[in-house]
Structure 1
Amino acid sequence: MPTAIAVTGADLVLPPTDPQTPPAAVLPGPETRPLDAAVADLRALTERDGHAIVVCPEWAPPATAQRLHAVRSLLESDRIAIVRTALPPLGTAVLVRQLRQLSVCDFSPGVLASAARLLAHYVYAGAVLGSVARLDHVPVGLGSHLKGWLPGAHFAVLAGPEPRLVRLGSGGSGGSGAGPAETLPGPAFTTDLVLARGQLTTDWPTTDLAPAWRVRAVQEASLPESSPRWWGTGKLVEFAAHLPDLPVLHQLVSSVRRETCHWCRMELIGDRCGFCAAPLPTADPAPATR
């Protein structure tokens, strides 16, 4: 039985990559769904699939996370994991789709929930922006903020795994404003690229970025509703390079040593339980010898 993957917004659900990828359950926010209905939604999800992993971005409204924790408390359930991620909207949607892909594999719910932190390190998420004057989620120097007010300026910004900003020039092409040393650090592994176009007209992600990163394929997606707010402008083209193939994702997660959470007894990988968030105990230091 696949573990249910849920999200806090429909804009974080990308089309599946294959017929075996299950859909994600969308949990409406507290502004549109009363508490008793939200409790019924998650109860039905866990009764149907056994366990539920809810991906809630760190940038979601505080009321959204508070509602999820309240519902889990009211259900008194240890079968609901609330996974937080700092990835921008399109990167979060890519991570959600990877969890959906892996949910049909032989991983326990605990391994799947804790795998989200591992997978996020392999998502190269960024955007081409018409301005960085209101960009708050990625460290940007004062000079770039001032240049962000210049008409026609375009910026390539990488939010993770290594934040970076490059000014591209008025045409959105790296050749006019970025020298050879000014490039976005790309993945050292084969990826596909997902693009979501906002109100900015530029082909830089396909003409410059994709060849530089040796991208295997490019897919277009709808711009997440939350993207303009996250990036500080609607004049953008958001992108996310990711590991697309299920066998590769499966091998990546399988290669990490599994532990048992000392608190809730769920299986996990990494240093923190995906269900109760308890850290993995560190080994006691060896006693000093005389």
Structure 2
Amino acid sequence: MTSADLVLPPTDQQTPTAVLLHAPGDQPLEQALGDMQLLLEQHGYVIAVYPSSIAGAHERRLHTIRSMLESDRIALLKVDLPPLGVAVLVRQLRQLSICDFSAGVVASAARLLSHYIHSGALLNSVTKLDRVPVTLKAHAKSWVPGSQFGVLANPEPQLVKIGTGELTGPEFGTHLLVAKGQLQSDWVTETVAPAWQVQAVHEVALPAYSAGWWGTSKLIEFAAFLPDISLIYQLVSSVRREVCTWCGNELIGDRCGLCNAPLKPPENLTHGSAVLSP
């Protein structure tokens, strides 16, 4: 993981923690290479998850390390989720890492699990929001004092002005994480949670990336997710496994999670699909 505040506490005593991969300004390259080599020796594989919003120098450092070690046992997973959604995904992958899945399946499961994370925020303004389509009408309303907006970035973009609409939520049982920024409101816990019929609400600290991602520090970020590891296990198990023709590792879906090579030839393969019933 590239930021300590994206490492959520474990849900049980078995879930392992995550290792922090430091930015170039915080650690010399030689030390970073040594740390990565040690991780490979201890665990066999490293699955590095990082948000698309991290600094370019930090992302280049990750690719440099992988290139210099010439290892196909390092997965670099760039995730285009809001910060709290990234944190949820990382914890789910940590849970999967102690199941009987290969590293290739765990790495490629990130794309599958992302579809089941509903990531959004309550914002006081959308004038600087560039991650979700914002209409000119919404921009205009954003200048009206007291306006607030409910935004969903994943799995499908949604935007509503509070009081004029509702966000469509998951059709399966979830827990809800809530991280409060510089905005006072009960809308997430009093409106979203009941409407989405979440089974539990947990409050966590707001990630440092959140204000930049959402374009304002006056926000409350939230993420609904599958809390049950047995259900996550079943979901991943239901997808047909293939063997990457490039690196030889197992994968699910249409792209290898470790070397990022596409599955070929797609026209000759039949894939299983993972669907949760309401």
Give the TM-score, by structure 1 length: 0.91
CA RMSD in angstroms, aligned pairs only: 1.0
Q: Does 1:64 align with 2:47?
A: no
Name the amino acid aligned to 1:95: L
> Match of 1:27?
21
In 1: Cα distance, 2:37 partner to 2:138 partner: 48
> Match of 1:279?
262
> Match of 1:208?
191
Name the amino acid aligned to 1:236: L
Q: Which of 157, 162, 167 does residue 161 from structure 2 map onto?
A: 167
- Give the number of equivalent residue pairs: 268
> Match of 1:256?
239
Q: How does 1:77-156 map to 2 (within 5 A)?
A: 77-156=71-150
Q: Secondary structure at the match of 2:206?
A: coil
> Match of 1:173?
none
Name the amino acid aligned to 2:261: A
Tell me if the contact between 1:153 and 1:167 (Cα under 8 Å) persists in the aligned partners. Answer: yes
In 1: Cα distance, 2:43 partner to 2:221 partner: 33
Name the amino acid aligned to 1:248: L
Q: Secondary structure at the match of 1:26?
A: coil
Query: By how many angstroms is 1:14 displaced?
Result: 0.6
Question: CA 1:258 to 1:235, structure 2 compared with 1: closer, same or farther past 3 Å?
Answer: same
In 2: Cα distance, 1:63 partner to 1:78 partner: 22
Query: By how many angstroms is 1:143 displaced?
Result: 1.4
Which deviations, in whole Å up to 9, do the C-alpha atoms of 1:191-237 show, x marking residues without a partner?
Answer: 00000000000011111000100000000000000100000000000
Q: Percent identity among equivalent residues?
A: 59
Q: Secondary structure at the match of 1:25?
A: coil
Name the amino acid aligned to 1:185: T
Larger Rg: 1
Which deviations, in whole Å up to 9, do the C-alpha atoms of 1:85-118 show, x marking residues without a partner?
Answer: 1100000000000001111100000000000000
Q: Secondary structure at the match of 1:219?
A: strand
Which deviations, in whole Å up to 9, do the C-alpha atoms of 1:55-90 show, x marking residues without a partner?
Answer: 011221111111101001111111100011110000
Q: Secondary structure at the match of 2:26?
A: coil
Q: Does 1:36 align with 2:30?
A: yes
Q: Which of 73, 76, 88 does residue 70 from structure 2 map onto?
A: 76
Structure 2 residues not aligned, in runs of 5+: 269-278
Tell me if the contact between 1:156 and 1:166 (Cα under 8 Å) persists in the aligned partners. Answer: yes
Q: Which of 3, 6, 22 does residue 9 from structure 1 map onto?
A: 3
Q: Secondary structure at the match of 1:190?
A: coil
In 1: Cα distance, 2:143 partner to 2:69 partner: 49
Tell me if the contact between 1:193 and 1:217 (Cα under 8 Å) persists in the aligned partners. Answer: yes
Q: Secondary structure at the match of 2:126?
A: coil
> Match of 2:12?
18
Question: CA 1:257 to 1:101, structure 2 compared with 1: closer, same or farther past 3 Å?
Answer: same
Q: Secondary structure at the match of 1:228?
A: helix
Tell me if the contact between 2:81 and 2:153 (Cα under 8 Å) persists in the aligned partners. Answer: yes
Q: Secondary structure at the match of 1:279?
A: coil
Which deviations, in whole Å up to 9, do the C-alpha atoms of 1:143-189 show, x marking residues without a partner?
Answer: 11222122211100000101000101xxxxxxxx21xxx22111010
Q: Secondary structure at the match of 1:87?
A: coil
Tell me if the contact between 2:53 and 2:209 (Cα under 8 Å) persists in the aligned partners. Answer: no
Query: By how many angstroms is 1:273 displaced?
Result: 0.2
In 1: Cα distance, 2:78 partner to 2:8 partner: 18
Tell me if the contact between 1:162 and 1:185 (Cα under 8 Å) persists in the aligned partners. Answer: no
> Match of 1:171?
none
Q: Which of 245, 252, 256 does residue 269 from structure 1 map onto?
A: 252
> Match of 1:172?
none
Question: CA 1:284 to 1:114, structure 2 compared with 1: closer, same or farther past 3 Å?
Answer: closer
Give the TM-score, by structure 2 length: 0.94
Name the amino acid aligned to 2:127: A
Q: Which of 167, 183, 186 does residue 169 from structure 2 map onto?
A: 186
Query: By how many angstroms is 1:244 displaced?
Result: 0.4
Q: Secondary structure at the match of 1:65?
A: helix
Q: Secondary structure at the match of 1:83?
A: strand
